[in-house]
Every structure is written in C-alpha cells, then in structure tokens.
Chains A and B, each alone.
Chain A
Amino acid sequence: MAATRLLRVWLAAALSMMALVAPSAHPDQRPPVPARRAATGTIRGNVDFKVPPVERERRVNPAELGMSPARDSGDRRRSVIYLDPAPRGAFDAREEPHARLDQRDESFVPHVLAIVAGTTVDFPNNDRTYHNVFSLSKTRSFDLGRYAAGHSKAILFDRPGIVRVFCDIHSHMSAFILVFAHRYFAVTDEEGRYHIDNVPPGSYNVVAWNEAMALDSRRAAIPEGGGDIELSFLFEKR
C-alpha cells in the first residue's frame, strides 16, 4: 500500500517536471475521461485583479501620416489556470489536435492560447494588410514570413513552454501561446471564470498565470469519490 502511494507520488513528481505553464482550453483539448470510469472532479472558480493588467500599445511613430485606428489590443484579463503536478494519465493522449490564432484587425485573436504539446496551430491572415508572424521564444522559434489575406500557415508546437508571438510589421500585435505537456488547464472566460474537468482524485497545486502578473498558486485536493472544488484567485501585484 505504502509502495503504491510512493509510486504514485513519484509518478506525479516526474510528470510535473515535464509540464509547464499554459492558458485556454480548446473544446477538443478537454482532459480525457479516464479509461476506467473512476470518479473524477472539477476545479472551478474565478480569477480577479486588484491591479488592472497592462495594455500593450502601439509604438509611437511620429512619421505616421494619420491617426492610428483604434485597435482591440486583446483581452489582457485572460488568465490560464493549470494543475501542477499533472494527474496520472495526463500524458496518455494520442491525437494531434489543431488550434487557431487569427490575425484580425491588426490583433491576434485570441490574445492567449493554451494548447497541449503536439498541437498544430494555424495562423490565418484575415486582414487586408500583410502580417509577418514570428517568435523568438526558446520553446518554439519561427518566422512565417509575409502572406496576404485568405492565406494561412501552420506551426507544430511540440515542446511545453511559453511562446510569445509578434508581428514583424505591426509592433503592437502580440499574443501568448502556452504549451502544456498535459491537458489539465483552462483559460478564463470574459468574466474571469474557469473550470478544469475530469480531474482524477489527488492533491494538486493549482496555478494561475497572467501575462502581466506574478504567478499565483493554491492547493486543492479532489477526494477519492470525486466532486467539485471551488478555487478563486486574486492577482494583486505585477
């Protein structure tokens, strides 16, 4: 019995070493229901801010000949909640999912994208103008070059980590892709709510990430019989 518990702790620790940070849950990236229909739980709650997240503005360019159009710089309040360590079986998924990061109205939509490692992200250009999507992040460095409206290019993200995405032409365009080694994560909705479903029983650190804020984490335990847990976060400092 003690040996089983020890093995479970060791496994959880080893798996969490492989996991990293990340946001938004794509519908087809929900944690899988465990093969044996054991009781699972849901961790849900709210993320709020004591200090507002910083907006990213376009670089001041006195050489511009006209007023800059008002742009939606992306919802900076979107946060990512994830489990650390990840539950047992978190790395069993075999499918190769797709996700999408649009270029629209000189913004990346969504501003924060959370995916599981092995996801291919499409970058369609839905603007009249060129964009040049690139990233210098160590997790995944790429440069898609310039392509026009109606065209799309794709990148496979096969390593966990944080990828900052920019446009080489429009300095105010930026986005975050958080690549996880497991599927136990969620991106908050427009009201700051989140839920992570199908969490196996166990004790976890639940971590909240926001681009402008210091990481916050709370302890949570799903009982053996499953059940819901309410866990909310308040970002207080950058």
Chain B
Amino acid sequence: MAATILVAAVLCVPSPATAQTLPSGPIRANDGRLLVSGEVVATMSDTDNIAFFNYTDYEHNALRLFRFSLSGAWQPVRRLAFVGELRTEDLDRPEAYAAYIRFRPWIDKGLDIQAGRIPPSFGVFSRRAYTTDNPVIGYPLAYQYLTSIHTDAVPALAEDLIRMRARGWLSTFPVGNRTPGPGVPLVSAFRWDTGVQAHWKAGIIDATGSVTAGTLSDPHSNDNNAAPQVSGRFSVEPSTGLILGVSAARGAWLSKDVTQLLTSGADGNDYTQTAWGADAEYSRDHWLVRSEMVWSRWRTPLAASAPQGIDIDALAIWAEGRYKLTPRLFAGLRLDHLGFSKIQTSTELLTWEAPVNRVEAAIGYSIQRNLTARIGVQRNDRDAGRVHGRTYLAAQLAYWF
C-alpha cells in the first residue's frame, strides 16, 4: 500500500519540466558545510506469503518495498565530518542506518577513521548505492536470503536444523528464544554494524579494517555477546576500470542469552562466524561486469548432541552485468547461487539449508538523470520448502537528490 502511494506521488510529476522543481542535487546550508541528500525507492511485485525468496532481515520483502532515506553530512572543519542516514522501510519508524563521525588525521594523506554505526568493511555490495549501482532490482542472495539459523536460539540435534531448511523467514529452534522469527543472511545489507573503522587509500591500493559489535550476518548497535568482530577488505585497481578485492571477517555471532544455556562450558567467543570474500569488477565503454563470492562458516552448537559446536558453511557466488543500450536505456542481469555444506543426521547426510539458484534480468529507463524506472523478472529455484521454485515480475521507481 505504501509503495502504491509513493508510486502515485512520483508519477504525479507529469513532465521533465515540472520535475525540475524537485531537487536535482543535495540541499546545502551553512556555506556548503551541511549537505542533505535523499532517496525514494518504490518496488512492486506479486504478493508472496508462501515462498519468501526475497524476504529480508527486517521481515520485509525486497521486491515489495517502499524506502525513503535522508542522508546528511556536516563538515564543520576540513578534517572532521558527521555523517548519518535516516531510513524508513514501508513507512515504519525511521531508523538510523548510518550515524558516525569521520576524522582525517592528516589532511593530505588518504587515511580516515570512522566511529559509530559505520559502513561495512567486508565485501562491496553493502556499500553500493541501491538506486544507481544495482543493475537489477533484487539483492544478491548472500546479502538478503535468510538462512534458518538464529543468533538467540540453537538446535538440539542436527535434525532440528534439517527440519528448518528453506524456512529462514520464520524458523524456530528448541534451545533459547523459542519465538519463531527470521533467520540471518550471510551478510546483512539492511543494517550496518557499530564500531570503529580505519580506511586507507594510496594509489591503486585501498584497505579497510574495522572492529564492530555485531557480525556480518547480525550487525548490532549494542553488543549481545561481549565479543567483537574484526573485518577487513583489501583491494587493488591495477588498471582503470579493473578492481580486485578480498575480504575477511571473524566474530562471535551467538547471543550470550543462548550460549549461557549451553552445558559445554564454552563462552560466546567459541561460536564464531568466519567469512571470506572475493570480488572483481571490470567496466569499459558501456559495459559493467562484476562478480563476488562470499564463504561463511558458523560454529554452531547442537545443544544435545554437540554442545561444543559443529561447523556449518555457506557459499554464495554471483555475477552481474549492465549494458547501456542508449543514454536512457540499460539492461542488467545477475546469476546467483547459494549453496550449503552437508551435515549428518541419524539417518542421512543432507545440506543444512536448501541451496538456492536465482536468475534476474531487468531493463531500466532514465526518465531524467535522477529518476529511474526499472522492470524485471526474477526466477528462484530451491531444493526444499513448500515452494521449490517461483518467478516474480517486479517494477521499481527510484528518485534521488
């Protein structure tokens, strides 16, 4: 409903001439020291209350989402900036997606320190501008698809994990919080973590490292286990247009509320999420091609059979591309796979989650420079669940200033 209202509002702009009255760039004040940008995105698709392929960690559907965000930066002096973003999804209460202070110790060196609710260091997709940098409409599986595991509840047996395959949107486990709720993705693109970050760029080299309260799959504003996550990315740009990066992260992912129920004597630090990532981007002329891989391992206790924990892995790999057909028209495509490791139950050897394949294609049209319309089709296939496969048609209007 909210999305419909937004689309109607945007379509009320009858012509480019009228649209010029909308801001086309950031609003500035205080002699340019204060800047405010905004973004409105309305995404529409079929209702989905059975397959849940596109649900996110906020229990919203990424293909049926109205999002409004305001980003601001106040830079009182050259070395210091306060940066924030307020965001509402489906007109829910606005939340601080980003809120941090940025400090540059040496003005002519490429070293920056950021503290607060900061951008992710790991991978690249989370830092991309959703409206302009996404070649299609949906998200990559690694950053959106909900696996069944929870940070505040754990299985007693391997069978409990198997029972929850393909139910990540609303899963439950017998130890800990037994209220059904959404599981976690490999990396959350819908929430940023809280901590301290250092970024250094010199020539073709770019390095980022951070210490944060949460983990990739469950970023936090408050620490829930008194154990930090360390993450980082290193990238090089050997020639213009080619960027190669590697990422890593490790942090305790289970809440203290559940680890203290375990009889293993282990503390939260023993149950870690460890992730490795690799990314590549190449662009030239009217082409843009990217690929990213995320491997994640969660050390997960089986409260009754293996309280010290077992390793469950996930591997996501995708490639995406965009081609600009004309100044206004572009086409995008993403091929995406999410696979899982196998675990042994009393009777069989099965992947602990149901592998998913996704293919998505979209055509986009720039109505004006900062107003883009997209239509797309997304096909999902999964090895388990009430629905094994589903195709979605989606449309999106995105405006930014």
A→B interface (CB under 8 Å)? 54-67, 70, 128-130, 134-136, 141-143, 145-149, 164, 166, 171-172
Contacts and interface: CB of A to CB of B under 8 A. Distances in A.
B285 A57 contact: no
Contacts of B119: 62-65
B122 to A, nearest CB: 12
A65 B32 contact: no
Given A55-B28, A57-B32, A148-B241, A136 B110 contact: no
Contact of A145 (B26, B78, B97, B324): B324
A145 B288 CA distance: 10
A145 B286 CA distance: 5
B32 A141 contact: no
B interface, over-half SS:
strand
B357 interface: no
A61 B71 contact: yes
Interface in B119-168: 119, 126-129
A61 B83 CA distance: 9
A124 to B, nearest CB: 14
Given A60-B36, A146-B284, A134 B72 contact: no
Interface residues of B, number: 51
Contacts of A63: 98, 119, 126-129
B201 interface: yes
Nearest to B241: A130
Nearest to A145: B285
B49 interface: no
A55 B32 contact: yes
Contacts of B401: 59
Contact of B327 (A58, A60, A142): A142
A130 B35 contact: no
B315 to A, nearest CB: 25
Contacts of A142: 327
B36 to A, nearest CB: 7
Contact of A58 (B26, B241, B400): B26
B25 A57 contact: yes
Contacts of A60: 26, 35-37, 71-73, 83
25 contacts: A56-B25, A59-B26, A59-B37, A59-B401, A60-B35, A60-B37, A60-B73, A63-B128, A64-B127, A65-B112, A65-B119, A66-B102, A66-B201, A130-B241, A136-B366, A136-B369, A141-B327, A141-B328, A143-B286, A145-B286, A146-B285, A146-B286, A148-B239, A148-B240, A171-B25
Interface in B22-41: 25-26, 28, 32, 35-37
B167 to A, nearest CB: 32
Interface in B157-200: 197, 199
Contacts of B98: 62-63
B46 to A, nearest CB: 30
A interface, over-half SS:
loop
Contacts of A148: 239-241
B256 interface: no
A134 to B, nearest CB: 5
Nearest to B98: A62
Contacts of A164: 369
Nearest to A58: B26
Given A59-B25, A63-B119, A67-B102, A143 B327 contact: yes
B249 to A, nearest CB: 16
Interface string B310-342: 000000000000001011100000000000000
Contacts of B37: 59-61
Interface in B351-401: 366, 368-369, 400-401
Interface in B1-45: 25-26, 28, 32, 35-37
B327 A62 contact: no
Interface string B199-233: 10100000010000000000000000000000000
A238 B213 CA distance: 48
A146 B241 contact: yes
Contact of A143 (B97, B114, B239, B324): B324
A164 B26 CA distance: 17
A127 B81 CA distance: 26
B277 to A, nearest CB: 16
B83 A136 contact: no
B199 to A, nearest CB: 4
A60 B38 CA distance: 8
